A and B are shown apart, each in its own frame.
Chain A
Amino acid sequence: MSSSTVSRVRRQWPLSPWLFAAPGLLIIGAFILYPFVSTLVNAFTDKRTLIPGEFVGLANFRELLHDDMFWIGLRNSTLYVLGVVPALVLLPLLLALLVQKNIPGITFFRSAFYTPVVASIVVVGLIWVWLLDERGLINSLLETVGIGRIGFLSDQWLLLLSAMAVTVWKGLGYYMIIYLAALANVPRELHEAAAVDGAGAVRRFVTVTVPAVRSTMALVGALSSVAAFKVFSEVYLMAGPSGGPAGEDTTLVMLVQRTGTGLTGRVGYASAISIVVFVVTVALMLLVLRADRRAET
């Protein structure tokens, strides 16, 4: 089609580009923009599930400051990021290095490590609850070897740690695949040159592998920190709907769900918590990406 034909078509069909974009725009508008704007607006109202509510300014945010449960949620979500992200940045990289080699049967191990990723989180959660129960397999083994039973699911901190372990276990395979792709692009010559210079495996990992996959590590860090801050399923399944003993394992997203749903849900207040979650996750993303840029320069 010549340029004159294109411009003629544009003149005749000024809507044609919009029509092509319309399906995507409608989906984005209905399922992303509208809920986002609606949440933003609701955060400044006292809207409840069945009552439209009125504008209350910053009242919801002021209430957050005095809500113990909000601070518990913020603490747990932050601890989750601190506990899970370093493990999810480092362990999948080590795993990827292990399964990178083309040795017989390695496909089996790659698939095995990836299996938890495709398993349903509900199934995974239930299996780990059975394993960690006071009378579960792990406690029975511990008792057999004389250590005694440990309250993985009844102690506030052990419960949170257990949930973190499940998140790491489930996420390993996913990030391993990302690292495998990155490692495939690391020039073999660099490793060979370092080896010729007498660098051992650890030194080659630090001086060759890590710099080569640093951007990928930043990406994994950003993705996993956002996911960790928004954690819901693992903690909900292991700690129960009340959020662990006395609600001490509640995370922010669990608090949003508990506060804002049901017939008596405080939609306005839950929206205010959602806005805090949004702001923190955006800040986390920017922080990680900025740290990566700074390291590059």
Chain B
Amino acid sequence: MPISRRILAVAAVCAVLPLSGCGSGDDGGSSDASGRIEGDITFQTWNLRANFKDYFDGLIADFEKKYPGTEVKWIDQPAEGYADKISADAAGGTLPDVVNVSPDLVAPLAKAGLALDLDKAAGQYKKEYLDGAWASHRIPGMTGTYAFPWYLNTGPLFYNKSLFEEAGLDPDQPPKTYDELFTDALELAKKSDGKVATLANVPTVEDFGRYGVPLMNPEGTAFAFNDAKGVELLTKYKELYDAKALDPQALTATPESSGKKFLTGAVAMNPGSALDLGNFKKQAPNLYKNIGITDQITSTGHVNMYVMGVMVNAQTKKKAASVAFAHYVTDAEHQMSFAKKVAIFPSTAGSLDDPYFTKEDGTDETRVRIAAAKSLKNAVNYTPVLFSEQMKTALRNEVAKALQGKESPEEALDNAVKACDTLLRQQG
């Protein structure tokens, strides 16, 4: 039956084609964002609808009013699996026109030609942002900048004053450097007979950065955190682990689980943000009464900052509208209004000098905000943009082997660097 076979073949092809993940086949590739700002675009955020629906509805309405003929469809994705959602969209050719990203998400998208080079398409806006923030979406080995910087964040370190006091430590003199941290942590563990750990997480790549370890070579082509300073940091952490100054479950901990340990008083220090104060007040009033707030531990004098960005899909058919909207979301006025709704910090030049970030009003929230804004002026984004999830796991596993004594710190870091370099080469 030739007809039925032909029809079946067509049906089969129709069924399979949508799954083949072809690109959208439009005018991608050009960085020209000139032209009339009009048309329908999609904008994807990262878990922001639940708390900021009104803010974004207003923002979008104002943009559409400013540029008649535009229509922005807002999509919000949950925090969990965000990278997987983007990768599925990118592979399937359904990446939204404007996407909320972090630098490590931008890197593979830029390499695949899916992120618009804003140095070319929107270079005129560069001067509106802090130099460091604009540079945060540059990719080693590539020229160009691939996302508008959006909000910055950095967190203070919270500590439990009563636990410090019980261990005979001065609750008003929390550790500031890694050396002070190690001394205090060992003292706390000794005085509590190993029942109170100071930290609940193994060192991450940011810890190595804050300790002063070079993370990559200057060209950005290989990792370098296995130098003597890196080994020194890991050796110190091993001492903490052996003395139970590092929680025994730190090897499998997540930020959520270590946060819970801090809430229950099992751990004396935990990184967080100004948002956490509200949680402490609600969930652990006794802890809240004893809460101490200090700067991130750093031996370099530069705290770690996290950068969020807004990327424009290089394949979008509405480049002018997409670039205009991405800039609109991240410009000084809108970043400032967003910062007043939530504990984030604008990446636009001069915004951190606003009285909102400099003037005390006596509350803890303001104190945290002012301290964070101050530290952001010389903060560093220690996470290398090419440091993928697989690399994080490789480092974490090798660190765990060193802490358990299965490998020496030197061996562990050599292996971690080797694994990360292999993954880096495989990224292409």
Contacts and interface: CB of A to CB of B under 8 A. Distances in A.
19 contacts: A15-B7, A22-B11, A49-B87, A50-B91, A50-B108, A51-B112, A151-B248, A242-B393, A242-B396, A245-B400, A246-B398, A246-B404, A247-B396, A258-B393, A261-B84, A262-B87, A263-B87, A264-B108, A266-B426
Contact of A34 (B3, B11, B19, B390): B19
Nearest to B265: A135
A159 B400 CA distance: 15
A235 to B, nearest CB: 11
A46 B4 CA distance: 38
B30 interface: no
B94 to A, nearest CB: 13
B19 A258 contact: no
Interface in A104-139: 133-135
A134 to B, nearest CB: 6
A264 B393 CA distance: 13
Contacts of A46: 426
B393 A29 contact: no
A239 interface: yes
Interface centre among A22, A49, A263 (most CB of B within 10 A): A263
Given A30-B19, A265-B87, A247 B393 contact: yes
B249 interface: yes
Contacts of B86: 263
A242 B252 contact: yes
A133 B90 contact: no
A15 B90 CA distance: 38
B401 A246 contact: yes
A244 interface: yes
Given A15-B7, A49-B108, A239-B252, 14 more contacts: A18-B8, A26-B15, A48-B428, A49-B90, A134-B248, A151-B248, A153-B252, A242-B397, A258-B393, A262-B84, A262-B87, A263-B83, A263-B86, A263-B105
Contacts, number: 115
A180 B331 CA distance: 67
Interface in A10-49: 14-15, 18, 22, 26, 29-30, 34, 46, 48-49
A134 B91 CA distance: 42
B142 interface: no
Chain A interface size, under 10 / 10 to 19 / 20 to 34 / 35 or more: 35 or more
Contacts of A133: 249
Contacts of B423: 264
A264 B11 contact: no
Interface string B194-213: 00000000000000000000
Contacts of A153: 249, 252
B289 interface: no
Interface of A: 14-15, 18, 22, 26, 29-30, 34, 46, 48-51, 133-135, 151, 153-154, 159, 239-247, 258-259, 261-266
Interface in B68-108: 83-84, 86-87, 90-91, 105, 108
B90 A245 contact: no
A264 B19 contact: no
Which A-B residue pairs are the 7 nearest by beta carbons?
Answer: A50-B112, A246-B400, A245-B251, A263-B108, A264-B388, A240-B252, A247-B397
Given A51-B428, A266-B426, A18 B397 contact: no
B16 A240 contact: no
Contacts of B248: 134, 151, 154
B312 to A, nearest CB: 17
Nearest to A27: B15
A51 B390 CA distance: 17
A30 B253 CA distance: 38
Contacts of A30: 15-16, 19
B406 interface: yes
Contacts of A151: 248-249
Contacts of A48: 426-428
A241 B109 CA distance: 24
A274 B281 CA distance: 47
B82 to A, nearest CB: 10
A29 B84 contact: no
A239 B253 CA distance: 9
